[in-house]
Structure 1
Amino acid sequence: MEVLYKILFFISAFIIIWAMVGYPISIKIIGRLYKKNRELKKDYSHQPTVTVMVVAHNEEKVILGKLNNIIKLDYPQHKIEFLITSDNSTDKTNDIVTEFINENKHLNIRLYEVKARKGKTNAQNEASRTVTTDFIVMTDANSMMDKDSVKELMAAFSADDIAYVTGRLSFVNKEASDISGAQSSYWDSDVAIREIEGRIQTITAGNGALYACRTKEYYEFNPIQSHDTAMPLFYALQGKRAIANHDAKVYEKAGEVVEDEFGRKVRMNRLILNHILPDLKILNVFKYKWFTFFYLGHRTSRYLLWFSHFILLLSNAFLVTGSWFYALMFISQILFYGLAIIKLITKTSNKYITLIYYYCVTVFAQWVGVRNILTGKAKPFWEKAESTR
């Protein structure tokens, strides 16, 4: 049994280290090797017809600001339409949108009302059937778009094999709290990874705040799925590319309290078991090339963190008396989790303890996601995080 415990210990340790340290380092090295001939090519003369779709559920606090934001986009007015998709809103969202439309009849704005709330993806599916433009740009109600964002997204569709382009989300409240600061730090590092993945071949996940695809290539995913994870994977398995153009910018607030951030991560993990290896075809490195490495390194390893940490601690407990090394590793794990508990109890603002706490919250959210899946509680819709509004 000792041999088995050692195997489990080292495999779990490898997955954790690779997910958080090994893969980010490896992708930066690969990025440098491919830097010369893999720069993103843009064609600013590519200005097709576009529908900017905003999905909203009870967004009365921010929807007027969003409407005023999107009508100021720098894109030919005769080539852009605005579609507000209300996912069975029960507050004043629909009234605000309707009034805005009546006051701006010179603009092509329309409201699509989803009668039964089934989540963002279902709302996008329903509304997409009414779109007649060449491209769809998706954006969230609480995300403020840079005036050149649509122009940048369209310029990145410079080749027929590019099926999806996501923009760069930046948080405007990094300094608001230690939680928003930790989220911003994590996100900035992930954005750097995505830029390299897209430049070399294809990204493994997108960003719901701002992305675009061809209308004819839009696929109606199961409402429980999220475009962030489903779309790039779907296109990659078709031999197409999903890329990031970080000159297409969008801004929003990060969660400022742990409850909001934890809830968001639980929602993100509502299909975590499926995401570990969603399709065996991914393993065909000869066909999918770098995407195989990207997905296993960036996604599979991270989706296994919840299980890897558990197995690492458990196997280490059985090995703790075997040598000083295992004793040291066990003490280190206990101290690591202990620091997270200290943050929870004392609310200390120490940067490093906050990062440890944020990481532990992330892993625990994966466990809750798994529990929701196994108990049938995973759902396609959720309540918004108020601190991000």
Structure 2
Amino acid sequence: MELLWEILFYLSGFIIVWAMVGYPLSLKLIGHLYKSKTLKKDYSHQPTVTLMVVAHNEEKIILEKLNNIIKLNYPKEKLEFLVASDNSTDKTNEIVTKFINEHSEYKIRLYEVKARKGKTNAQNEAQKTVDTDYLVMTDANSMMDKNSVKELMAAFTSDDIAYVTGGLRFVNQESSDVSNAESSYWDSDLLTRNIESKIQTITAGNGAIYACRTKDYYDFDPIECHDSAMPTLYAIQGKRAIANHDAIAYEKAGEVIEDEFGRKVRMNRIILKYILPDIRILNAFKYKWFTYFYLGHRTFRYLLWISHFILFISNAILMLDSWIYTATFFMQLLFYLLGFIKKITKSNNKYLTLIYYYCITILAQWVGVFNVMTGEAKPFWEKAESTR
């Protein structure tokens, strides 16, 4: 029995270390082998595009978003705008309708979703009204750089590229320790995606700004989100999902932990499935680097919740067998204690903030798992007000 606990201890420890340190470092080393590969762009590629904005009760921000997107640097005759309003009950639809009437020189449509079933369902419904060659999708609170659509389209340089995600930048990184921690995490993740994209394909995008061919659009279950589901689907189909971080969108990161925690719980609403969404991913002979990318970047991260639990329990059982196990057990206790100290003291110490932020991330995974197991996972959520 002791051998079993030792196996569990080292296995769970490996998963945690590899997910947070080992995989990013390995990817940097692998990236050096492909340093000659660069993102190809063709700025003459300017097909017809529908830019879809999904909104639910966004009366505070929707007018700013509309004014933002009509200023995009893309041929006016090739660009349409579609607002998919997910059963909005505030003044969102009224504001959009008024804007359409006052800006008849632009091709702007409002699609009203009658029953609120979440962002993905709204996209599924609204997409069926699209007849342009490409779809660009963005959130209501994501302000787009004027060249963002041009950059996205320029990255579709071959038929096997089915999806392009842009780069998200936070405009309030220094507003709070929470927004700073989220910005730091996101910056490191962008570096990882850059390398994955350069070598073969990314494992996830971001909902702020991304594009696909209209013919390649797939109706996902509303509980799923395009960020995780789309790149994986295309990779399994033998296509590529890539990143062009010169296509920029700007957002506010959550400034209070409640907003950021809620966002992470939402991200984990289907966490058990995403550990390994399709067993075919394990076929490294067929999927090559994608198998390595998905296991390292996704599977191991989605296992952090259970790995930390197993590591703690196995360590507690083994701690009397060796001073090494005793030391690692108290190191774990100290780690969680430092996170708790941050919570009660509200300290601005950056190291305490990072520890606390990590603990909140793991807790959000646990809540996500609980919601899945109890049937409480929902395809929609309440927006984070501090990001508006």
- Give the counterpart letter for 1:149 in structure 2: S
Partner of 1:81: 80
Q: Secondary structure at the match of 1:166?
A: strand
Q: Secondary structure at the match of 1:235?
A: helix
Q: Secondary structure at the match of 2:101?
A: helix
Displacement after TM superposition at 1:295 (Å): 0.1
- Give the counterpart letter for 2:14 in structure 1: F
Partner of 1:193: 192
Displacement after TM superposition at 1:364 (Å): 0.4
Q: Distance in 2 between matches of 1:28 and 1:144?
A: 31
Q: TM-score, normalised by structure 1?
A: 0.99
Deviations 1:47-73 (CA, angstroms, capped at 9, x unpaired): 000000000000000000000000000
Partner of 1:35: 35
Q: Distance in 2 between matches of 1:35 and 1:51?
A: 34
Partner of 2:16: 16
Deviations 1:164-198 (CA, angstroms, capped at 9, x unpaired): 00000000000000000000000000000001101
Deviations 1:263-320 (CA, angstroms, capped at 9, x unpaired): 0000000000000011110000000000000000000000000000000000000000
Unaligned runs of 5+ in 1: none
Q: Distance in 1 between matches of 2:171 and 2:191?
A: 18
Partner of 1:25: 25
Deviations 1:133-166 (CA, angstroms, capped at 9, x unpaired): 0000000000000000000000000010000000
Q: Secondary structure at the match of 2:31?
A: helix
Partner of 1:364: 363
Partner of 1:65: 64
Partner of 2:385: 386
- Give the counterpart letter for 2:17 in structure 1: I
Q: Distance in 2 between matches of 1:216 and 1:302?
A: 32
Matches within 5 A, 1:232-247: 232-247=231-246
Matches within 5 A, 1:1-389: 1-36=1-36, 38-389=37-388
Q: Distance in 2 between matches of 1:327 and 1:195?
A: 40
Q: TM-score, normalised by structure 2?
A: 1.00
Deviations 1:353-386 (CA, angstroms, capped at 9, x unpaired): 0000000000000000000000000000001000
Unaligned runs of 5+ in 2: none
- Give the counterpart letter for 1:150 in structure 2: V
Q: Distance in 2 between matches of 1:373 and 1:246?
A: 33
Displacement after TM superposition at 1:35 (Å): 1.2
Deviations 1:1-43 (CA, angstroms, capped at 9, x unpaired): 111110000000000000000000000111111011x211000
Q: 4+ residue runs of structure 1 moved beyond 3 angstroms?
A: none
Q: Distance in 2 between matches of 1:82 and 1:28?
A: 39
Q: Secondary structure at the match of 2:112?
A: strand
Q: Identity over the aligned pairs, expressed in percent?
A: 74
Q: Secondary structure at the match of 1:207?
A: coil
- Give the counterpart letter for 2:221 in structure 1: N
